[in-house]
């Protein structure tokens, strides 16, 4: 098949819409549903991200995409009991490595992942399909589906859930094109690969970069490769815990991603995990309530506590939040372009960042290095920029 008609373009009024190949056949098959324009943008960008994560780490990978940027991305590291709890993974459900990757990708920023498009680096198994079937999602792309996994997914949304299969052997042309305002743009594909060689140039005093940190930095950089720029990504234990996408200012990327990383960690606080939710409240409503409870708007929310809880919980004040966040350490951070000022490092330090990879090349590199040295942070100059638009 060379052409596939889409539900509509970016918006319902943008019709007709299609994807097509100028030469050869499409490398995708729609097994269920009727994807739209943005669905396929998310699916194809997400597939590239997880394919590269898998190749670089040797671990199954998953991503949760929203509006052409990842809300979360992760490789298949095991989940501890706390992460299972805050990701709403049933205690008795056995997780395969692929299912763990998706639980982590979805759990990084559950607010942003609501209605996501999922990409999996390996054939979807039943364990992963069970997690997907419980979440509010637009669709999934994978290089294959086990029969029992597909059976579950075909029931989602009464058979209207978007399930796409992609040929893992497909390789695109080395030149890519797109049109804007009737004008065609052409460029060579970004075929950069990621390995330890990126972290050889370490200008900071602290040069101790353990293998786990290198892996986390690689996860961060590959995630950034498919995130709308400007972008910054915080990673811990093979999982993106905060992604700042599409900001015009580098410091706003760092703040946004840092706040998301903080929220991820605050969700693990015993006081948050003990919130007495009403049984009638679904997971999305609980996610929304938690997001407000761990913010400065906590006291306003408690004025209407009966809408969420069986009893009024204690205030989660700023001092308690700040004290808990002291436990967030060992975080790796990647940036898709250089840091122009040391304020980015100051903000990153507040969210437990100890390892950084960025291209370098700013006229203020000396200032950025100086601030890293102040906090004992290891920073590598990768020499590569990762803008994505």
Q: Which CATH number characterizes residue 334's domain?
A: 3.40.140.20
Please check whether residues 215 and 350 belong to one and the same domain. Answer: yes
Domain boundary among 171, 204, 236: 171
Domain boundary among 171, 203, 219: 171
In a domain, 386, yes or no: no
pLDDT at 384 over 90: yes
- Average pLDDT over every residue of 344-349: 96
Contact 116, 134 (CB under 8 A): no
pLDDT at 299 over 90: no
Active site residue 39: no
Domain boundary among 141, 171, 201: 171
In a domain, 389, yes or no: no
pLDDT at 196 over 90: no
Which of these is catalytic: 7, 67, 157, 252?
67
What interhelical angle do 365-375 and 343-350 show, nearest 10?
30
Q: Is the pTM of this model over 0.85?
A: yes
Helix, strand, or coil here: 324? Answer: helix
Confidence class for position 271, pLDDT limits 50, 70, 90: very high
Active site residue 389: yes
pLDDT value of position 1 = 79
In a domain, 143, yes or no: yes
Please check whether residues 117 and 238 belong to one and the same domain. Answer: no
Please check whether residues 356 and 237 belong to one and the same domain. Answer: yes
Q: What are the structure tokens assigned to 352, written together?
A: 């437990």
Confidence class for position 85, pLDDT limits 50, 70, 90: very high
In a domain, 111, yes or no: yes
Q: What are phi and psi of 21, to 5 degrees?
A: -110, 135
pLDDT at 139 over 90: yes
Please check whether residues 261 and 275 belong to one and the same domain. Answer: no
The total number of residues shown for the chain amounts to 389
DSSP strand E in the chain: where?
3-5, 18-20, 28-32, 61-66, 69-75, 116-120, 137-142, 162-166, 175-180, 183-188, 232-236, 239-244, 331-335, 353-358, 378-381
pLDDT at 99 over 90: yes
Which of these is catalytic: 92, 94, 171, 389?
389
Name the β-bridge partners of 73. Answer: 63
Contact 165, 145 (CB under 8 A): yes
- Average pLDDT over every residue of 15-41: 94
Please check whether residues 246 and 285 belong to one and the same domain. Answer: no
- Residue showing tokens 């004290």: 323
Contact 130, 104 (CB under 8 A): no
Contact 385, 359 (CB under 8 A): yes
Active site residue 66: yes
Q: What are the structure tokens assigned to 212, written together?
A: 């786990």
Please check whether residues 98 and 17 belong to one and the same domain. Answer: yes
DSSP state of 326: T
- Average pLDDT over every residue of 241-263: 95
Nearest residue to 230 (alpha-carbon basis) of 320, 126, 359: 359
Please check whether residues 302 and 356 belong to one and the same domain. Answer: no
In a domain, 320, yes or no: no
Higher pLDDT, 145 or 196: 145
Confidence class for position 90, pLDDT limits 50, 70, 90: confident
User: Could you check whether the bond before residue 165 is cis, i.e. omega within 30 degrees of 0?
Assistant: no
pLDDT value of position 332 = 98
Please check whether residues 166 and 237 belong to one and the same domain. Answer: no
Active site residue 252: no
The angle at the Cα of 355, spanning 247 to 216, to the nearest 5 degrees, equals 80
In a domain, 324, yes or no: no
Please check whether residues 296 and 147 belong to one and the same domain. Answer: no
In a domain, 83, yes or no: yes
Which of these is catalytic: 45, 162, 230, 344?
230
pLDDT at 353 over 90: yes
- Average pLDDT over every residue of 165-194: 93
Q: How much is the mean pLDDT over the chain?
A: 95
Please check whether residues 278 and 201 belong to one and the same domain. Answer: no
- Average pLDDT over every residue of 371-389: 95
pLDDT value of position 126 = 97
Q: What are phi and psi of 92, to 5 degrees?
A: -90, -5
Over residues 319-333, the pLDDT tens digits come to 999 999 999 999 999
Which of these is catalytic: 39, 66, 214, 216?
66
Please check whether residues 219 and 127 belong to one and the same domain. Answer: no
What is the residue range of 93's domain?
A: 3-171
Please check whether residues 241 and 275 belong to one and the same domain. Answer: no
In a domain, 160, yes or no: yes
Domain count of the chain? 3
């Amino acid at each position: 098949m060379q052409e596939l008609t889409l539900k509509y373009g970016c918006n319902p009024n943008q019709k007709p819409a299609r994807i097509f190949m100028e030469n050869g056949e499409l490398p995708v098959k729609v097994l269920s549903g009727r994807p739209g324009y943005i669905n396929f943008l998310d699916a194809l960008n997400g597939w590239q991200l997880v394919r590269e994560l898998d190749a670089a780490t040797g671990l199954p990978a998953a991503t949760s995409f929203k509006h052409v940027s990842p809300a979360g991305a992760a490789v298949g590291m095991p989940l501890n009991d706390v992460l299972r709890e805050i990701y709403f993974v049933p205690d008795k459900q056995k997780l395969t490595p692929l299912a763990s990757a998706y639980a982590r990708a979805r759990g990084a920023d559950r607010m942003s992942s609501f209605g996501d498009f999922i990409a999996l680096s390996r054939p979807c198994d039943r364990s992963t399909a069970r997690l997907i079937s419980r979440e509010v999602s637009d669709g999934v792309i994978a290089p294959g589906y086990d029969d029992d996994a597909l059976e579950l997914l075909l029931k989602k949304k009464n058979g209207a859930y978007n399930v796409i299969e992609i040929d893992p052997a497909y390789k695109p042309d080395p030149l890519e094109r797109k049109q804007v305002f009737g004008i065609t743009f052409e460029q060579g594909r970004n075929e950069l690969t990621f390995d330890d060689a990126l972290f050889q140039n370490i200008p900071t005093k602290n040069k101790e970069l353990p293998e786990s940190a290198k892996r986390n930095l690689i996860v961060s950089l590959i995630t950034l490769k498919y995130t709308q720029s400007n972008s910054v990504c915080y990673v811990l234990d093979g999982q993106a815990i905060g992604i700042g996408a599409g900001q015009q200012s580098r410091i706003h990327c760092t703040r946004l991603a840092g706040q998301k990383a903080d929220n991820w960690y605050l969700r693990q606080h015993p006081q948050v995990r003990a919130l007495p939710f009403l049984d009638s409240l679904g997971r999305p409503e609980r996610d929304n309530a938690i997001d407000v409870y761990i913010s400065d708007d906590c006291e306003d929310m408690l004025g209407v506590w009966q809408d969420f809880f069986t009893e009024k919980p204690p205030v989660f004040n700023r001092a308690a939040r700040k004290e808990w966040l002291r436990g967030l350490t060992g975080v790796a951070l990647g940036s898709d372009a250089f840091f122009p000022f040391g304020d980015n490092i100051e903000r990153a330090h507040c969210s437990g960042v100890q390892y950084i990879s960025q291209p370098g090349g700013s006229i203020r590199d000396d200032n950025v290095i100086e601030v890293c040295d102040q906090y004992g942070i290891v920073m590598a100059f990768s020499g590569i920029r990762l803008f994505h638009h």
